[in-house]
Chain A
Amino acid sequence: MTDVSVPSSLDGVEPVQSVRTPIRLEYTFTPGVAAQTYLREFANKKILGVVSPVDGAVLVPPRGADSRHGALCDEFIEMPHTGHVGSFCVTNVPIPGRDLDLPYISACIFLDGADIGFLNLVAECPPEECRIGMRVEAVWKPDEEIGMTAENILYWRPTGEPDIPFGAAGVRGWHVREEGEANA
């Protein structure tokens, strides 16, 4: 610190090391057409995807545009409540603000017929048994607690069906599509 000249009354006082200037800003989020449509139906326990006008890819959840090409997507389709694990992570350390029993599994879930995945929890499955390609289904909150929120699905649990092959799991679906084959 450079030498500064201060009034003698301030000689030897403890230096101020931090200043608190709290800022609080409130927002009423505008979800837009895509998220509104999705959340309305999600409150009826339906999962909607949108179809890309560029190549027919199915995008879940809808964000309004095919984010690869900047094209608006206005064709909605209803999706099944089953899919597979595209990739996953096992969390063993507590995260402030997250009230989950450790360890827990976060996974990219790919719904059947969808070309992109979304992040959600996988449970009713020991971490050592979770694997890429594992088939899962949605476990919804009780009907009376369902609303227009991403929290409607508590987690995804294994269905016990045979896995889909590693090479066909997850985001590899993109490349399958690019080669001209339909993604199952």
Chain B
Amino acid sequence: MRKVAVVAAASRQEEKMLDNEVEMMVPLITDVRTQTGLDQTDICFTCSGSSDFLAGQAFSFVMTLDAVGPVPPIAESHVEMDGAWALYETWVKFQMGVIDTALVYSYGKPSPGSLQDVLSTQLDPYYVAPLWPDAHSVAALQARLLLEQGAITPDELADCAVRTGTAENREDYFSQPLLSDPLREADCPTYADGGVALILASEEKADELCDRPAWITGIDHRIDAHHFGARDFTAVPSVRLAAQNAGVHDGPIDSTELHAAYTTHDLLLRKEMGLGIPDTPQRSYPIQADTLMASGLLRIAEAARSIWDGSANRVLAHATAGPILQQNLVCVLEGKEN
């Protein structure tokens, strides 16, 4: 397996941004190119993730290429998925041996529309989407099963909310009204506009571009069934398998960056991947600011940052897409070469 590292990252999140997608991404893309001293002609491959359903515009990613600058022409690709999957596509391209450097970015601006409605459109178009279930209610279906089965307890939810910064203490948590019963506001994400850009480099290049490259030593993504009736809401076999294939258990994990937009998801992901409750906090929490299409790639950026600043040496980054943890990507980043 060819070694690939994250060597630069830039990100921005705000609850409601008045810049358009291009104005939001230019400073981030410029920042990572400046950090590495690369200009666009030095970058072998550019790959992005975004959703037309957020922009309300067909082929919206093409317009965002204004922020990259395709003159002279660039090798480019796009996924209608979280940017973590754009990173996976790019990683595969590295494995093919055809690139040495890459720009990966993703962004989402849910504020112009209704994200709850947009998320409904990802559901089964014949039997489920026409009923317009909102995302919090779908998450609540899962939460009730987990609670009634005893897989998680209300106190665990409260402690998770405290740990992820959405409640001050248990008392504060239990005083909140139920939003989508059994979920309270502190269990559910606050949505934000935002974007993230990364530079990846091969083993031949990474050390030139970064003092302490964050090496991708394992990466895998898996998907569970689409139809709600075909899934066990209390288990996430896809993340279990992805973690296993990414080699999560081959060594100690110093810190985790989970794409958990609900307290229930944080607890369930930890259970499925055999992770304990962390001593060190995540660098940022999707439950406080979740940016559809960017939150997953941002987890990988945050994992890389904790390697760059020396606070960790082996970090797990996780990304999810689809309703209630349907698709999962797990990536292990390491500071030292093995």
Contacts and interface: CB of A to CB of B under 8 A. Distances in A.
A and B: real partners?
Answer: yes
A30 B65 CA distance: 18
A31 interface: yes
B30 interface: yes
Contacts of A35: 20
Interface of B: 17-23, 26-27, 29-30, 40, 53, 56, 63, 65-71, 109, 111-114, 117-118, 121, 125-126, 129-130
A27 B117 CA distance: 11
Interface in A31-61: 31-35
Contacts of A66: 69
A30 B19 CA distance: 7
A63 interface: yes
A27 B56 contact: yes
A32 B17 CA distance: 9
Contact of B26 (A26, A29, A31, A72): A72
A65 B112 contact: no
A64 B67 CA distance: 9
Instruction: Give the 9 A-B residue pairs with the shortest CB-CB distance, closest first.
Output: A32-B20, A70-B69, A68-B71, A27-B56, A67-B66, A69-B69, A64-B23, A27-B113, A21-B130
Contacts of B129: 21, 23
A39 B109 CA distance: 22
B70 A63 contact: no
Interface in A52-94: 63-72
A25 interface: yes
A2 interface: no
21 contacts: A21-B125, A23-B129, A25-B53, A25-B118, A27-B112, A27-B113, A29-B112, A30-B19, A30-B20, A32-B23, A33-B18, A34-B23, A64-B26, A64-B66, A67-B69, A68-B69, A68-B70, A69-B40, A70-B30, A71-B69, A72-B30
Name, among A26, A31, A32, A64, the residue most crowded by chain B CB atoms within 10 Å (CB to CB). A64
Contacts of B30: 70-72
A26 B67 contact: no
B75 to A, nearest CB: 15
A28 interface: yes
Contacts of B69: 65-71
A51 B205 CA distance: 35
A18 B234 CA distance: 35
Interface residues of A, number: 24
Contacts of A72: 23, 26-27, 30
Contact of B126 (A21, A25, A65): A21
Contacts of A25: 53, 56, 113-114, 117-118, 121
B112 A64 contact: no
A19 interface: yes
B332 to A, nearest CB: 31
Contacts of A31: 20
B65 A67 contact: yes
Contacts of A28: 112-113
A69 B21 CA distance: 16
Nearest to B121: A23
Contacts of A69: 40, 69, 71
Contacts of A70: 26, 29-30, 40, 66-69
